[in-house]
Structure 1
Amino acid sequence: MREKVILYNLKVIAVFLLFLLGPISGYSQKKNKNKENGTEIAKDTTLSKKGKKYNDLVKKGTLKKGLFNIIQVKTDVYFEIQDSLFKREFLVVNKVSQVPFQINEYGLNKGMNYENKVISFYKDTIANKVWVKSYLPKVSSPKDDAITASVKNNFAESIIEVFDIESKNNDSTSVVIKVNKIFDGRQKSFNDLLSNVGLSSSLKSDLSYIESTKSFPKNIIVKSQLTTSVPEDGIPTSVTLGVTSNIILLDKTPMKPRFSDNRIGYFTEKHWYFADAQQAMLEKELITRWRLEPKKEDEERYLKGELVAPKKPIVYYIDPATPKQWRKYIIDGVHDWQTAFEKAGFKNAIIAKEPTENDLDFDIDDVRYSVITYAASPKSNAMGPSVVDPRSGEIIEADIIWWHNVMTSLQSWMRIQTGPIDPKARGNTFSNEHMGEAIRFASSHEVGHTFGLKHNMGSSFAYDVESLRSKEFTAKMGGTAPSIMDYARYNYVAQPEDSVTVITPKIGEYDKYAIEWGYRWYPPNENETVKLNTLIAKHQNDPVYFYGEQQGEIIDPRSQSEDLGNDNVKASEYGLKNLKRVVDNILSWTYDKDQSYYETGKLYIGAIGQWQMYNRHVMNNIGGIYLNPTVHGDNKQSYVPVPAAMQKRAADYLVKNVLTIPQWLFFNDILDKTNPLKDTPLGPYEYTPYTLSRELQYDIMYKLLGDDRLLRMTENELYQRNKTNEKVFTVNDLFKKMHQNVFAGTIQNKSLTILERMTQKNYVDILIVSTNKLFEKTEPKKTIEIQQTLNMPHLCSDLDDEHMARNINQSFLKRVTEVTSDKKGELYKVLQLLKIKKSTGDQSTQNHYLDLIQRIERALNNTTF
């Protein structure tokens, strides 16, 4: 009864208000003033149906017809959305199209795609609005299954934007919305530039605007100028970025996905599958690939094994800003993949070309065009990301970013790795032909990424090191590894007397096999999984077709960046022989009359970086495990410890070349002219040989004695001895070898040189620091980070960040593992030796011993020895 009284009173109040205020605005036949621009906009459907406002908009502004008709009235931009497009799925793709100097320095350049999302538009005639919703298309279920209702509710769309309906067209089959706010920086719903590029400032909407618009049958483009501020010398400085937002209509029926296999390296999109018949959710990964299909009339010929042209080839355009002398080589690098696609049954599958007058609406920022964009920047890199339909893994468009200064990396690799065997690779400047061949290789590598291929860092392990010294073998295989997707650069193994001439990476057998697996077409109703597995099984025992994932911390030494051959020790020893030849000739190779020694210092630090790279290649065999991608029934072992003999050889190499600092590399005639130089934003930075050798030695020794490496050695000892009683290289073996060599002069009562004392200090400090870390409190503390002084240049080094390899967790409760005992035991052993020998040697040696004794005693909290 009480509820009825309340309802009655509410009705009375509503009638009273209606009397006082007049008709409710939603039912009024009057017009209201739009507060934004003062123009009259009809709010009632009757006027909209008559089309007065729509006709006024079109009459006052300009109309561009396409996916959405775009109406522009002065600075106001309107989208006219057809009723048929509501509830359809669109992909928003945002790209950088212009950057000022300050942003260029951050490494952000034209052509970079920074944000994609799937959206849909919904018309609300009651509220007179258009809602925009977004979702992550990573979940599927059969249409008629009961669980599908739950899937819809548990993975629903989210509202990201709303627009007032400003008008309707004359027959009410479309509505008009004003869209300025999503492109001029006021709203982040469609284009969150700053968050995605890592700038922590905010956009200045009064200094931002929509620059231009284009509309095409399946996509629209809106270009904007967005202004923010960045600190420059501590002072906020305004910077304006040009951005291009594409809105693409996605196909109603997505491409049939192909599921990943960890024995072949493709980028992937994760997807969850629910079904009534399941006992657990199924998680799969869809590989990213282009939709490459034969024409309908060619399907029978294709299935019989004939090569046919695809219905829609993959086309790459060369940025008109690319210097003319390099265009041919970039195009050749793309076309080199034709043979790989022929293995998949397609001829003329790839086209690379310069835009012509016939490409009237060509726009680099238009997602209909895959472009190799040339960026004027000091950054030395290149990368090949793609725009992907996340529903299926279909690659819609590819953006290869080619930074101008990538040639400095190519030149550095060639001079240091091939200078001893190739006179063309020695000077400060290469011929266009020689640099062009390097550009061709880099082009092929980056294009491979845009086909969906990941790095295959394990490919180079397929070739025997001695084979890389064979002129016949290298000519036959046509490269340094079976895959151009490896970081197998140039042939640093071949010696001058070998007369090897084929020294540049090429597209190899693994690449052709991977493209066949990813792109061979099968009829829609055919179960392709069986045939794909058959293809893998056919090649599974041939190392040429091995796929080794890129890793963070290297566990599998076969899958390393920049290495060559199946024996890191032997390859590095050959590399050192050539590196000595480089160092002996640095002054003559960089001679340029009346010029400074800048090029000399740069080449010198590059040579030192190559030495450190060899050290890392070898070191990762110690405690290494071969990680084999396996499946049931293949009779392969998933985890194979690196043989003990190989680990021992690796330790011997490090004793010879790291614990003993090479005099020929760090103390030579070059130092009469220049120190090693590294470029920085503040100009060339010089490193003195003592400081640099000390830092780099510490880097290797610290990583060599890392907890995870020692734990893998302990695990291996426990497992192998219990299983096979095979010879194992143990933690104690490693410490014994290190101890005997680091303290060789001490044991013999000799006076120590500066470098010998340096090595002992590094060794003791590493043991102290790493042992103390095991007992740190649980609150967050900054861990020791070794300065990566000599990072050698890499191509596309950030592409695989979200697709890292298998990680083996060995970090739980390290303080109660054998690592603690082993490291403390070694410290006690060193302490006892030093106490016995503290009065031997010259005064500098004795001072050194007293220093180390005090450090160790303090670290062990024991001053009573």
Structure 2
Amino acid sequence: MREKALLKNLKNTFILLLLISSCTIIAQKKDKKSKENKTEQAKDSTSNKKGKKYNDLLKDGTLKKGLFNIIQVKTDLYLEINDSLFQREFLVVNKISNVPMQVNEAGLNKGMNYENKIITFHKDLVAKKVWVKSSVPSVSSPKDDAITASVNNNFSESIIEVFDIETKNNDSTSIVIKVNKIFDGKQKSFNDVLSNIGFGGSVKSDLSYIEFAKAFPKNIVVKSQLTTSVSEGGGPALSVTIGVTSNIVLLDKVPMQPRFSDNRIGYFTEKHWYFNDQQHAMRERELITRWRLEPKTEDIEKYRKGELVEPKKPIVYYIDPSTPKQWRSYIIAGVHDWQVAFEKAGFKNAVIAKEPTEADTDFDIDDVRYSVITYVASQKSNAMGPAVVDPRSGEIIESDIIWWHNVMTSLQSWMRIQTGVIDPKARGNKFSDEHMGEAIRFVSSHEVGHTFGLKHNMGSSFAYDVESLRSKDFTAKMGGTAPSIMDYARYNYIAQPEDHVEAITPKIGEYDKYAIEWGYRWYGDEKEEHTALNGLITKHQDDPIYFYGEQQDEIVDPRSQSEDLGNDAMKASEYGLKNLKRVVSHILEWTYDKDESYYETGKLYIGTIGQWQLYNRHVLSNLGGIYLNTTVHGDNKASYVAVPAAIQKRAVAYLLKNSITIPEWLFFNPILDKTNPLKDSPLGPYEYTPYTLARELQYSTLYSMLSDDRLLRITENELFQRNEAKENVFTVTQLFKTLSQNIFAPTIQNKSLTIMERMTQKNYVDVLIVSTNKLFEKTDGKKIIEIQENLNIPHLCNQLDESRMGRNINQSSLKRVTEVTSDKKGELRQILQLLRTKKNIGNQETQNHYFDLIQRIERALNTTL
């Protein structure tokens, strides 16, 4: 036992000696390594003190001081990042600077912002690298809550790029990285232009380069020319070079105090998730997008007392120097028209528009320090007003209104067709600069409204009674065609020549002032803000002038439509048709231009047909319509209200009279002796023959009238109104009975059918067959006729992302097992029975027609009964 104990002690002693020896060796190695590190650090320090590498960069290149110092050595670009900027948040903003013709024709133009992202820089001295991380800053939690650790782990940053540290500055307070790869197209981490514009593929680095870079106190600007190859239809590859500008912008350490959205007022929003320890579930809220407008510290008391004060920093828009001189004052006036709205929010001189001067030595359209109304040379007829937003708070940092040159063609079309009969200035092939300028002013105001964060308010025009729009006094008092310029309320097509109405142009209205006050009035704290904003909405919630109606992908609520006027679509459209008849009778006169072709005549002609179809669609939306009210607890409002049965019956009557019965004055008139309706296409003017166009548009109306979703809404309304009086409920059965009795009236009366009557019956039957087959994913080899909704009637802002287009209401799942199938097949069966009894009546063309329809229906129903 003693021997074992002794051996054990010796063994332990030996192990101890080994450990001591090892520790000594390790310590010696560490001491040696420490001395070596100190020597290296001393060398490195000496090197930086001498500044060989850093000073060599400065000696060989050019230095531009700013947020990041930019050092350019020949074609190499370096950024010098100060230690204070590491882990600060930056916003990368990428824009189009120039495009070749092929890209221009595709609708991509200068000034468009195509990609933004939040990034942070992280210095790693061990690896001698700088890591770049990106995040989506849409999640928040209180700093000291336990859940915050989980939030940080579950919503962490992602590494998107890495740079080698090339050198340090002379006092080691900043490091230098080479950044060519992120700006010349080799890497997509900071700028993935091709994917974002839908081209795909990769940049040809040997045909791409960095043009120049500029540095400013809070941002840097880098411009590049990036080339790729595009091949279409198996043809030869086409080289395409796109100029891009990348801004890297330093964001404030403390974001702007966010303002939470309310669905009863229309602002663009940024979604945000909130976590805290006291919750039973995460809360999702939306932050409205808005500029940071605040009173100066010395003016806060004046502001609280209701005095108008100037903001710390006004909203300034610059006019693109490329803008033709005759339009600049009108665009500026359209911006300044918003002053009155911001005064409601307590600010004077809050919005400024101006042309850049010699004092703006650094002015650059693509620099995010400047909000610019960019004028684009393009065949496109449009305008739009997007904004660059800090996603942490919803703060608008900069806005770019894109103004396409050909927007004037849209304005001229609207004015000629909608107001030509009441305004002699709106009749010729070319307007005076003054008349066109006022139209430009209207569009300027509309687009600038978007850059304040305002969404379209498609329900605004419903506030005015139709008859009021015929009143000279009322329109003069209200100053426009709707309470909001953010509606798609166009010119006053309701007023008749004998009304002598003069105020016929959309203008900033009461809703706009109210919306700006709600979004921009400054409050000292969040509790005060919440109380005041709720009170403002409650104060106005029962007044239709302040109603907000969301833009809808499919029109469910007929109050919120594009390009309609007044609170009664049938009455408004009847007045519109009266004026449209007058326009058609003057088309040859208004478009006369000696020795010129009939191109302008054909264009104006198809525009009138488009306006007719627009009226049809305004009326059609009432059929199966539901008033969608945005409600809150305590307001005693119904969220869903079926359009009254009487209105739906009037809508059907209007369509039978003015749409399903093709108006001869519109489709068969003396204009056709000179030209067909003309629509521009990439291959030149495209002609529509009147019979073909009438047939397609009639089919489109019928197909929309009998769409599955519409019939399902009618059925659901019937279900929920089952306890109401029969006359107050509109049903699918009533709709089919009304349509068939009208469409087949000549057949019931044993008459021979005209070409147009046969056309209508064929369209009706085909719509029933095709839409029924579609329920079972069969179309019998047929393609449903699709025709552009409004022909040549143009739209604005059609590239603007509304972020949420209407309410998502599921009324159409499992349609094949709904009443729709039975209703449509039942209607086909009723028609079949009628045709079998009348198949030998009428002239030869009529009998041939009946034989054709009978065969079609029998095949569709798979029956010979």
Q: Contact 2:228 / 2:241 at 8 angstroms: preserved in 1?
A: yes
Equivalent residues in 2 for 1:686-765, closer than 5 Å: 686-722=687-723, 727-765=728-766
Distance 1:836 1:627 in 2: 45
Give the deviation of 1:788 after TM superposition.
1.2
Distance 1:291 1:714, change over 3 A: same
Give the deviation of 1:419 after TM superposition.
0.4
Distance 1:524 1:652 in 2: 55
Q: Which amino acid aligns with 2:230?
A: V
- Alignment deviations for residues 566-604 of structure 1 (CA, whole Å, 9 cap, x no partner): 000000000000000000000000000000000000000
- Alignment deviations for residues 133-176 of structure 1 (CA, whole Å, 9 cap, x no partner): 00101100000000000000000000000000011001111010
Equivalent residues in 2 for 1:54-65, closer than 5 Å: 54-65=54-65
Give the deviation of 1:783 after TM superposition.
8.2
SS in 2 for 1:802: coil
Q: Contact 2:48 / 2:171 at 8 angstroms: preserved in 1?
A: no
Distance 2:725 2:853 in 1: 42
Equivalent residues in 2 for 1:360-379, closer than 5 Å: 360-379=361-380
Q: Contact 1:49 / 1:168 at 8 angstroms: preserved in 2?
A: no
Distance 1:309 1:785 in 2: 57
Give the deviation of 1:202 after TM superposition.
2.4
Q: Which amino acid aligns with 1:72?
A: Q
Distance 1:744 1:474 in 2: 43
- Alignment deviations for residues 600-620 of structure 1 (CA, whole Å, 9 cap, x no partner): 000000000000000000000
Equivalent residues in 2 for 1:401-412, closer than 5 Å: 401-412=402-413
Q: Contact 1:329 / 1:440 at 8 angstroms: preserved in 2?
A: yes
Q: Contact 2:770 / 2:782 at 8 angstroms: preserved in 1?
A: no
Give the deviation of 1:235 after TM superposition.
2.5
Q: Contact 1:226 / 1:241 at 8 angstroms: preserved in 2?
A: yes
Q: Which amino acid aligns with 2:175?
A: V
Q: Which amino acid aligns with 1:802?
A: S
Give the deviation of 1:298 after TM superposition.
0.0
* Greater mean deviation of Cα atoms: 142-151 or 199-208: 199-208
In structure 2, the partner of 1:33 is: none
Distance 2:496 2:778 in 1: 52
Question: Runs of 5+ in structure 1 lacking a partner?
Answer: 1-7, 16-22, 31-41
- Alignment deviations for residues 765-817 of structure 1 (CA, whole Å, 9 cap, x no partner): 11011111111289xx9984613161521110232442211021112111111
Question: Runs of 5+ in structure 2 lacking a partner?
Answer: 1-17, 26-32
Distance 1:120 1:482 in 2: 44
Distance 2:463 2:801 in 1: 22
Give the deviation of 1:231 after TM superposition.
3.4
Q: Contact 2:111 / 2:374 at 8 angstroms: preserved in 1?
A: yes
Equivalent residues in 2 for 1:532-551, closer than 5 Å: 532-551=533-552
- Is residue 355 of structure 1 aligned with residue 356 of structure 2? yes
Q: Which amino acid aligns with 1:624?
A: G
Distance 1:456 1:43 in 2: 67
Distance 1:791 1:345 in 2: 42
Q: What's the TM-score, normalizing by structure 1? A: 0.94
Q: Which amino acid aligns with 2:302?
A: R
Q: Which amino acid aligns with 1:828?
A: R
Q: Which amino acid aligns with 2:848?
A: N
Distance 2:38 2:61 in 1: 28
Q: Contact 1:130 / 1:164 at 8 angstroms: preserved in 2?
A: yes
Q: Contact 1:118 / 1:134 at 8 angstroms: preserved in 2?
A: yes
In structure 1, the partner of 2:202 is: 202
Q: What's the RMSD between the two structures over aligned residues?
A: 2.1
Give the deviation of 1:524 after TM superposition.
3.4
In structure 1, the partner of 2:600 is: 599
Distance 1:705 1:729 in 2: 14
Q: Which amino acid aligns with 1:84?
A: S
Distance 1:141 1:49 in 2: 45
Distance 1:147 1:174 in 2: 35
Q: Contact 2:699 / 2:785 at 8 angstroms: preserved in 1?
A: no
Q: Which amino acid aligns with 1:747?
A: I
Distance 1:526 1:720 in 2: 42
Give the deviation of 1:471 after TM superposition.
0.3
- Alignment deviations for residues 372-422 of structure 1 (CA, whole Å, 9 cap, x no partner): 000000000000000000000000000000000000000000000000100
Q: Contact 1:228 / 1:238 at 8 angstroms: preserved in 2?
A: yes
- Alignment deviations for residues 102-146 of structure 1 (CA, whole Å, 9 cap, x no partner): 110001111000000000000011110000000101100000000
* Greater mean deviation of Cα atoms: 666-675 or 228-237: 228-237
Give the deviation of 1:861 after TM superposition.
1.4
Distance 1:618 1:315 in 2: 42
Larger Rg: 2
- Is residue 679 of structure 1 aligned with residue 680 of structure 2? yes
SS in 2 for 1:680: coil
Distance 2:654 2:91 in 1: 54
In structure 2, the partner of 1:794 is: 795
* Greater mean deviation of Cα atoms: 203-212 or 723-732: 723-732
Distance 1:783 1:155, change over 3 A: farther
In structure 2, the partner of 1:221 is: 221
SS in 2 for 1:722: coil
Give the deviation of 1:748 after TM superposition.
1.1
- Alignment deviations for residues 208-264 of structure 1 (CA, whole Å, 9 cap, x no partner): 000010000000000000111233683321111111000000000000000000000
Give the deviation of 1:523 after TM superposition.
0.7
Q: Contact 1:28 / 1:44 at 8 angstroms: preserved in 2?
A: no
SS in 2 for 1:167: strand
SS in 1 for 2:226: strand
- Alignment deviations for residues 717-753 of structure 1 (CA, whole Å, 9 cap, x no partner): 1101236766111101110111011111111111111
In structure 1, the partner of 2:6 is: none
Q: Contact 1:720 / 1:726 at 8 angstroms: preserved in 2?
A: no
Distance 2:95 2:285 in 1: 29
SS in 2 for 1:721: coil
Give the deviation of 1:94 after TM superposition.
0.3
SS in 2 for 1:527: helix
In structure 1, the partner of 2:613 is: 612
Distance 1:832 1:785 in 2: 27
Q: Which amino acid aligns with 2:422?
A: I
Equivalent residues in 2 for 1:452-467, closer than 5 Å: 452-467=453-468
- Is residue 156 of structure 1 aligned with residue 173 of structure 2? no
Q: Which amino acid aligns with 1:545?
A: Y
Distance 2:770 2:182 in 1: 52
Distance 1:155 1:807 in 2: 28
